[in-house]
Chain A
């Protein structure tokens, strides 16, 4: 499977600011996925990012709040905009091998104060 590097690994941000999380894969992958994991909770899919097209967002997530870029087949970014304490979570990127097996980055632990 392709190795995923995600950064930053953690950050503490002021409310009202934005943070961009980067995800780098060491080989080309068609689809990349962004998840949110709230404290002590399971993973919730935010959006699916394909290269060359707009991301597809899941119910409850909007592009204005979580803009995503996918400039090429090895890289994606997720921005958490106008942050509030409720955005404090772990954010994870992933890709699939084949059409099912998912592999994850190490996550970005975000704390909004």
Chain B
């Protein structure tokens, strides 16, 4: 089955700086890669996603890149703000099972 690894597990940045979180996946059949933000006491919220036919996608301060050859994808947050502080999860969906396999999560702290 699919295996998703996520790094780093914790990340602290100064407000206004950029944050990058990286994930790798094992199943070459995976074709959908979402990113979730989970705030304390809440369920995960989809913030951006990318499909395997696209190399990069942007939504305001958030961008995701995908390298299918290397089987890795990354989340980029620019101009970070304190409200970006949360746990971020990457995930992958394989073509056959259509199930989400999550990474281990990254606790992002934006320091004011």
Would you give the shortest CB distance from A93 to chain B, in whole angstroms? 9
User: Any chain B CB within 8 A of the CB of A86?
Assistant: no
Residues of B within 8 A of A103 (CB): 46
Contact residues of A between 86 and 106, Cβ < 8 Å to B? 92, 94, 96, 99-106
Question: Interface residue tally of chain A, by bracket?
Answer: 20 to 34
Are A100 and B93 CB-contacts (below 8 A) given A92-B43, A106-B42?
yes
Question: Interface residue tally of chain B, by bracket?
Answer: 20 to 34
Say which residue of A44, A48, A102, A106 sits within 8 Å of B34 (CB atoms). Answer: A102
Residues of A within 8 A of B41 (CB): 106-107, 109
User: Any chain A CB within 8 A of the CB of B98?
Assistant: yes
Nearest residue in B to A92 (C-beta to C-beta)? B43
Are A100 and B99 CB-contacts (below 8 A) given A43-B89, A107-B43?
no
Chain A interface residues toward B at CB < 8 A: 4, 6, 41-45, 48, 92, 94, 96, 99-107, 109
